[in-house]
Structure 1
C-alpha cells in the first residue's frame, strides 16, 4: 500500500511538473510581410509578443515580384500562412476564390471602421462582406527635379497642370546635360510587375472620361475614344516625342527612381514611398511634387492603392492570427508600419505625416478611387499591360491594341 501511495504521489508530481510546460507552450503563427517594411514589422512582432506571450509570430519576408502568384499558390495549398500582407487590389479576386476568411463580423466588432478611409474598405469588400483589413493607403503624383526645371527655363514652383503643358515641359527637359549625357524629360513605367504600368496609366483613362470596364463590370470599354486617347498620351513620350528613355519597356518603379536620382530623367510618376530612398541616394536633389496633369478643362484622377491584412480560410490558427491583426490595425501601429499614409484617418495626424513634401500626395487622395471591385480585374490588368506594351513597341496603334484588349477582356468576362 505504501508503495502504491508512493507511486501515485510520484506520478502526480510528474504530471504537475509537466503542466507548466504545456501552459507555457506558445501557439505559433506565420505572418507574410513585405520587405519594404521588414524592420518595422519585426518591432511590431516584438511588441505583440510582449503583450501576448502565448503566441509566437514567425515573420516571413516577401518581395513584390511574383507575390500575387505566390499568394495564390499558398491559398490553394491547404497549408497557407496565417496572416498575409497583400495589395488591396488583390483582395477581391482572392476572396472570390473562397480562400479568404470572411472578416466582416470580426472587423465590425474589433476594428474602428469609422476611422478608416471609406475607399480603402471598398477595396476589400466582396459581395458586401469585408475580406481584408486595409492599413496602408497611397496614390501617386508627379515627382520632379526642381534644379533641372530651372536649367530648362521652367518655373519649378509652377509645374505643368494640363496634358499639353506636361508634354511641352518634358520636351524642354529632354536635352544633353552639362556633363554631356542624355537627359530625358519623363520616365515612363513600361515594364516590371504589371502594377507599375497600371497604377500610372489608368488614372489618365479616368480623368479623360474613360474606363477599362463599364459601370456594372459586364463589358470592356477600354477601346472607346477617351481611353484610347489616354493610352496614346501615356505612350507618346516614347513612341512619338522621344522624351522618355529607350529602356522604357524594362523600366519599373525602382528603375525610374534610380534614373531620377542619377539625373537621367527629370521627372516621373511615383508614390511617397520613394522619397526616403531618393533623399538617401541623392541628398542634394531638390524635389518637387505635383498632381497628375489632366486634360484641359477636366479634373485630375488617381487610383487608390495600398495594402491590407488577410487571413486565409485554411489557416490553422485563425484566432491567434486575428489577435495579431487587431493589434496591427490600431491607428498608432498603422501609422508606424506604413511607409505611405495609413488607412486610419486619425493616424494621419501623427507627426511623421506633417512633412510638406507629403501634402501633394495627401491632396491627390481626394481625387482617387479604388480599382474595379470585380474578380476579373486581375485578368483585365494582365491583358491591358500586354497590349499597352505593344503600343510602346510600336507594333500596334493605341486603337488597335485597345480593340484587341477589349476583345480579350470580354472573353474573360464571358467565362
Structure 2
C-alpha cells in the first residue's frame, strides 16, 4: 500500500507542479441549514425565485450558510472578499459566511446539527472526507456541478475526495504537514553549518542541544496528544506502513513506532524542546520572536513568517523534517489540506453546488489570489491555477517554494482515512512517554486501545 502511495506522491510532484508545486454558530434567519432549518418561503427554494414569482416581482434569494475554519487573518479576509463578490454577481443566491475557531468547531457543529441548522457548505480536511462519506454525512457533488471541473484537478489530489466513484468534496489546497525551519544566524553562532541542516533524528537532537542557550530553546515541535496524533503521520509511514494493517483488522505498531515514541521522549527529556509549549504546533510565533532556533511546522509556516516576521527572513533556512536514517526519499510529512463539502442534508444542493463550483473551480484568479495571500506557502490542486501561478514572478523566484516542491512533496503521502480514534491512540502514547512512561509501555497500551476499537466497531468491515 505504501509503495503505491509513494508512487502516487511522485506523480503528484510531476503533475501538480510542472516545474513548481501544487501546494464557522450558524447563521440564523430564513436560510435554514443542512439538517433541515426552515426555508424563507416554507418550501424548497428554487434558483429562479420559485414558480409563484412573477416577472415583475423580485426574485426570492436562496440562502446558503457557509462555515469555514478560522485560519490566518489574511485567509479570513480572503474568504470575506470573495463571498461578497459571489453575492454581488449572483442575484438569486446569498451566501452567509461564518468563521469558526478550530477549538470551537466540533461543539458548534454538533449544536447546529442538533438544532437542524447545520451549514449547507463547509470546509473539511482531506482525512475526514472518506469516513464521513461512508456515514452519509456529506452529499456527493457530482449531480450539482459541471463534470468538467474534475478534469482540472491533478489526479492524485482528486483521489482524496473520491469514495465509490463519487466526489464528496472539491479540493482547495494541499500542504505538507512537516517542514524544518531554522535560524541560520543561530546555527553559525553555535558552530553549526547553516548549509547542512540536520537530516537524522540524532543530528536534530544534537543540534538542538547546541542551540539551547541564552534563553533560546533548540526546537519547537508538537507538544500534546492531539498534535502528535496528526503531525507524526508522515514519520509513522516512514516505517513502510500505517498504524493499522492494510485490511484494517488489527494494529500494526512495530519497532519503528516504538523508536518514534522514543525520539519524541528524547526531545523533551533532553530539554531540546520546552517542557511547556510556547504556542501551538501550527503557530510560528515562538520562532518568529526568536524564542526557539528551529521549528517543525507545516509549509504554511513560511507564510506567517513573511506576513508577520519579515525582519528575520534573511536568516531563515528551510529543510525536510529529519528522518531516522536521513533518507530523504522516505516520507516525513503528509499532504494535508482543505476542501469544500456539502452537508448530507443540504436543503439547496443546486445553489450550494453552484457556489462551490464558482468559488473553487471557476475563474483561476480567485484561487491565485488566495495563494498570493498565503505567500505561496500552500499549493493548488488545479492545473489551471498552477499554470497561472507559474507565470507569477514572485512564485518563480521563491526558493522556499522550490525546496518544498523538490524535496518534500514527492515523498509526502496522503493522510490516513481511518478513524481519528486510531490516530489519537498513538498520539496519546507519545504524550504518556513524555510524561514518564517507557516507550515500550506506551506502545503496548496504544496497541491495546487500537485493537479494542477495531473489535468493538467491526472495523475491518468498514475499510473503503
Normalising by structure 2, we get a TM-score of 0.76
1:280 positional shift: 4.2
Quick one: distance in 2 between partners of 1:150 and 1:114? 48
1:386 correspondence with 2:428: yes
* Number of the residue aligned with 1:141: 179
1:25 correspondence with 2:60: yes
Matches within 5 A, 1:362-373: 362-363=405-406, 364-373=408-417
Matches within 5 A, 1:201-216: 201-216=232-247
Cα deviation 1:257-311 (Å, max 9, x = unaligned): 2221222211111123222332344332121110111222633411110001000
1:337 correspondence with 2:370: yes
Is residue 119–residue 370 contact of structure 1 (8 Å, CA) maintained in 2? no
* Number of the residue aligned with 1:179: none
Is residue 430–residue 442 contact of structure 2 (8 Å, CA) maintained in 1? yes
Is residue 221–residue 295 contact of structure 2 (8 Å, CA) maintained in 1? yes
Quick one: distance in 2 between partners of 1:215 and 1:68? 29
Stretches of structure 2 lacking an aligned partner (at least 5 in a row): 1-52, 458-464
Q: 1:280 to 1:297 in 2, by over 3 A?
A: closer
Q: 1:117 to 1:227 in 2, by over 3 A?
A: farther
1:328 positional shift: 1.6
1:345 positional shift: 3.6
1:360 positional shift: 2.4
1:210 positional shift: 4.7
1:254 positional shift: 4.7
1:70 positional shift: 3.9
SS at match of 1:60: strand
Is residue 199–residue 326 contact of structure 2 (8 Å, CA) maintained in 1? no
Quick one: distance in 2 between partners of 1:403 and 1:93? 26
* Number of the residue aligned with 1:253: 281
* Number of the residue aligned with 2:355: 324
Q: 1:279 to 1:30 in 2, by over 3 A?
A: same
Quick one: distance in 1 between partners of 2:287 and 2:323? 22
Instruction: Identify which of 296, 306, 309 aligns with 1:282.
Output: 309
* Number of the residue aligned with 2:299: 272
1:130 positional shift: 2.1
Which of the two has higher C-alpha Rg?
A: 1
1:360 correspondence with 2:403: yes
* Number of the residue aligned with 1:3: none
Cα deviation 1:332-375 (Å, max 9, x = unaligned): 3333335321222442341264322222222311111112223x
1:104 positional shift: 4.1
Matches within 5 A, 1:305-320: 305-320=336-351
SS at match of 1:32: strand
* Number of the residue aligned with 1:96: 134
- How many residues align? The count is 383
Deviates most, 317-326 or 363-372: 363-372
1:24 positional shift: 2.8
Q: 1:295 to 1:382 in 2, by over 3 A?
A: closer
Q: 1:315 to 1:105 in 2, by over 3 A?
A: closer
1:251 positional shift: 4.5
Quick one: distance in 2 between partners of 1:365 and 1:73? 38
Aligned-pair Cα RMSD in Å: 2.4
Stretches of structure 1 lacking an aligned partner (at least 5 in a row): 1-17, 177-181
* Number of the residue aligned with 1:293: 322
* Number of the residue aligned with 1:157: 195
1:107 positional shift: 5.9
Deviates most, 290-299 or 310-319: 290-299
Normalising by structure 1, we get a TM-score of 0.85
Quick one: distance in 1 between partners of 2:243 and 2:164? 21
* Number of the residue aligned with 1:5: none
